A and B are shown apart, each in its own frame.
Chain A
Amino acid sequence: MQREEALKALVAAQDITERVRRRGRWYAGYSAGFGAITVALVLVVGLWPSPAAVAVATPVALVGFAALTVYCLRQPMSPRRHAAVHLTSMAGWAAAYLATLVVGTTAFPGAVWWWVPGALVCALPPFAAALYTLARTAEPRA
């Protein structure tokens, strides 16, 4: 193989990997959506602590999460390290969500100073996963 052939093969490989990598951006949208739904759910449940608010907000959030799951299942590829990123994001989200809800509903119902930062902390793992995915999919590589 000559130098020119090697260069041509490398350029072709780079073109393909970049196209595939860019297609992985769907996960950034998924994670951002997950984070946004989380913020809304935690704020509604925390700041308006009534059975009616919970009864309305929870099913609406569940429909949102279900729509995101369908969106995820319809994607033709998963980006590199997707499983690890997703598991880390979901584990962080679950821990923050449980801590915010259990402590908040017990000790600080309706307290803005608890629920607003709490909602943002809950959304932090999926938002971080979204940013990580955007950074990874934008990264030019040979």
Chain B
Amino acid sequence: MSHPRARLDDTIHAPVRFSIMAALAAADEADFRFLRDTVEVSDSALSKQLSTLEGAGYVKVRKTFVGRRPRTFLGLTPHGREAFDRHVEALRDIAAGAGVTPPEPTADRPRPG
């Protein structure tokens, strides 16, 4: 049985990207400022991480205007949602200790000879 660590997604694994994915997983979409405040990062840091997630096909971007104000909405793609669910499942397995082979008992092991 392989360790669940092998199922962790490298793109999602970084803490800020994991937080972004967690925030977007709880919504259909969220605007940039709300996401920035929720994840507690700067505009530039959020933009950078979003580019990575968008490049991986995990996040979709929608730009619109509300009145005269431009707004950017972000949401997970179906692929991103699946990837996040898989990643969380792997984390749960690690937290539960799945895939960890218990050490063999040594004290009572019969000795050869």
Interface residues of A (CB under 8 A from B): 1-3, 6-7, 9-10, 12-13, 16-21, 23-24, 73-74, 76-83, 142
Give the interface centre of A6, A7, A12, A142 by most chain B CB atoms within 10 Å. A6
A10 to B93, CA, bound (A): 11
- Say which size band chain B's interface belongs to: 20 to 34
Do the beta carbons of B34 and A23 come within 8 Å of each other? yes
The prevalent SS among residues of B at the interface is helix
Q: What are some 24 contacts across the A-B interface (CB < 8 A)?
A: A1-B8, A3-B95, A3-B97, A12-B22, A13-B19, A13-B22, A13-B91, A16-B19, A16-B26, A17-B22, A20-B24, A20-B27, A23-B34, A24-B26, A73-B66, A76-B33, A77-B29, A77-B30, A78-B28, A78-B29, A78-B30, A80-B26, A83-B28, A142-B92
Known: A6-B94, A6-B95, A76-B33. 10 other contacts (CB 8 A): A1-B5, A6-B91, A12-B19, A18-B26, A20-B30, A76-B34, A78-B28, A79-B28, A80-B27, A142-B88
The majority secondary structure among interface residues of chain A is helix
Q: Please tell me if the beta carbons of A82 and B38 are within 8 angstroms of each other in the complex.
A: no
